[in-house]
A = this chain, B = another copy of it.
Amino acid sequence: MYLCAEKLIIMTKKEDVFGKLPEMSRVLTMEEREQVLDVMEVRAYRKNEPIYSEGDVPSHLLCLLSGKVKIYKDGVGGRAQIVRVINAVEYFGYRAAFAEENYVTAAAAFESSVIASIPIDLVRQLITRNPQLAWFFMHRLAVALGRSDARTVNLTQKHIRGRLAESILFLKESYGTDEDGKTLTVYPSREDMANLSNMTTSNAIRTLSVFVQEGLITLDGRKIKILDEPALQKISRMG
Residues of A within 8 A of B (CB): 73, 75-77, 79, 81, 83-84, 94-101, 104-105, 127-129, 131, 134-135, 137-139, 141-146, 148-158, 162, 198, 238-239
Q: Which 10 A-B pairs have the closest CB atoms?
A: A99-B142, A76-B239, A98-B142, A141-B141, A75-B157, A148-B148, A134-B134, A75-B153, A76-B157, A99-B143
Q: Which residues of B contact A155 (CB under 8 A)?
A: 152, 155-156
Q: Is the beta-carbon distance between A137 and B138 smaller than 8 angstroms?
A: yes
CB distance from A94 to the nearest CB of B (A): 8
Contact partner, A131, options B98, B128, B139, Cβ 8 Å = B128
CB distance from A239 to the nearest CB of B (A): 4
Contact partner, A134, options B105, B127, B238, Cβ 8 Å = B127
Q: Using CB atoms, name the residue of chain B closest to A83.
A: B149
CB distance from A63 to the nearest CB of B (A): 17
Complex A-B: 8 CB contacts under 8 Å: A73-B153, A77-B157, A104-B146, A134-B135, A141-B141, A148-B148, A151-B152, A155-B155
Q: Which residues of B contact A128 (CB under 8 A)?
A: 131, 135
Q: Which residues of B contact A158 (CB under 8 A)?
A: 76
Q: Is the beta-carbon distance between A146 and B198 smaller than 8 angstroms?
A: no
Of listed A100, A146, A162, residue having the most chain B CB within 10 A: A146
Contact partner, A95, options B76, B101, B146, Cβ 8 Å = B146
A129–B127 Cα distance when bound, in Å, is 12
Q: Is the beta-carbon distance between A148 and B143 smaller than 8 angstroms?
A: no
Contact partner, A156, options B131, B145, B156, Cβ 8 Å = B156
A21–B153 Cα distance when bound, in Å, is 32
Q: Using CB atoms, name the residue of chain B closest to A152.
A: B152
A148–B153 Cα distance when bound, in Å, is 11
Given contacts A73-B149, A138-B138, contact A157 B99 (CB under 8 A): no
Q: Is the beta-carbon distance between A157 and B239 smaller than 8 angstroms?
A: no
CB distance from A77 to the nearest CB of B (A): 7
CB distance from A104 to the nearest CB of B (A): 5
Given contacts A142-B95, A142-B99, contact A81 B152 (CB under 8 A): yes
CB distance from A166 to the nearest CB of B (A): 11
Given contacts A77-B239, A79-B157, contact A144 B145 (CB under 8 A): yes
